[in-house]
Copies of this chain bind each other. A is one copy, B any other.
Amino acid sequence: MTTIKDVAKQAGVSVATVSRVLNGNGYVHEDTRSKVEQSIRELNYTPNEVARSLYKRKSKLIGLLLPDIMNPYFPQLARGVEDEMQENDYRLIFGNSDEKKQKEMEYIQTFVQNNVVGVISSTNDPEADMYTGLNIPVVFLDRTSNDRPSVFADGREGGRIAAQEMMLRGSKEITVMQGPADVRPALERFEGAVEVLEDRGAAYQVLKTTSFSLTDAEGFAYELFRQYPDTDGVIASNDIVASAVLKEAHRLEKRVPEDVQIIGFDDILLSSLLAPSLSTIHQPAYEMGRAAARLLIELIEGQHIERSSIEFPVEFMERQTTRKVES
């Protein structure tokens, strides 16, 4: 490995001088500068970030903690974060938490051990000690927090919209699938839907689900139509679950949307490709990832912060699993 010493020797100067041209601070004669720059080029030198990080007690690394990159919603978030970070010369240490506090803690710890300068996390508990005790900026992504920096979509409103659209399009026996109780965004969209249903005195049932995995979702879908065979409208906890419901409806030879309407949540790639294509509540995941990264960078670099809590609007994507409404 070539170090700053090698460059210094080559150029016939001290390491301090090399460091100065590297970082562009302090005085350095134009001639010296070009000599040094040439040596850098000749030796193909790049500074050791670890040594830098040790001295400055800060790196160019960011910790990114997501529940599960295999869930199709999260890659969009991740890519948004990555693109913004990459453009600003930050790098990502990445981990999956599986919504497990234990794994979450382990990652946060190793983030700290590696001198990350900031963390982006999708946690269900932003008030946990591991975050409040951190002395670097944290941005919560896809998770709400009132008093701490966060970027999220308006899930509650999403739930409301889903219920409204469902009723507007004529469903009378609505089943709301409640996502895992400990996953905050899942809870919020559920509450939003129920709020509207209650308000309007509509008939509805709740089916509790405990995971977003496809295999489990197929089981929930089966249960759904077994327990509530007369349901004519399903508000699913996300698009994966909605897909499973759609598939099960097909299997039972129910017509969609004539016999049952289905509304999902997230608007992942899959949704528009299904036949019939899935009506769903769209979240701008990629943009949310970017926004979280931008916010974190502002926090890190001590810039002026406009808003430290950014809520993105959601949007109903009318596709083919809901009926047309006469205008």
Contacts and interface: CB of A to CB of B under 8 A. Distances in A.
B82 A47 contact: no
Given A54-B51, A247-B275, A275-B275, A70 B75 contact: yes
Contacts of A286: 70
A200 B82 CA distance: 47
Contacts of A69: 69, 75, 78-79, 82
A148 interface: no
Contacts of A61: 93, 114
What class of interface size applies to chain A in its complex with B? Answer: 35 or more
A208 to B, nearest CB: 23
A240 B272 CA distance: 12
Contacts of A240: 269
Interface in A207-262: 214, 240, 243-244, 246-247, 250
Interface string A102-114: 0100000110111
A48 B54 CA distance: 9
A94 interface: yes
A178 interface: no
A74 B76 CA distance: 12
- Which residue, of A59, A70, A79, has the highest number of chain B Cβ atoms within 10 A? A70
A49 B273 contact: no
A120 to B, nearest CB: 13
A50 B93 CA distance: 14
Contact of A274 (B82, B91, B214, B274): B274
A96 interface: yes
A42 to B, nearest CB: 16
A53 interface: yes
B269 A49 contact: no
A72 interface: yes
Interface in A264-299: 269-270, 273-275, 286
B46 A50 contact: no
A86 B98 CA distance: 13
A68 interface: yes
A250 B275 CA distance: 9
Interface in A64-84: 64, 68-70, 72, 74-76, 78-79, 82-83
A179 interface: no
A93 B92 contact: yes
Contacts of A75: 69-70, 72, 74-75
Contacts of A95: 82, 86, 91-92
Given A69-B75, A93-B93, A270-B273, 9 more contacts: A47-B113, A48-B54, A48-B113, A69-B69, A72-B72, A74-B75, A92-B93, A214-B273, A274-B274
Nearest 4 A/B pairs, CB to CB: A49-B113, A94-B94, A243-B273, A69-B75
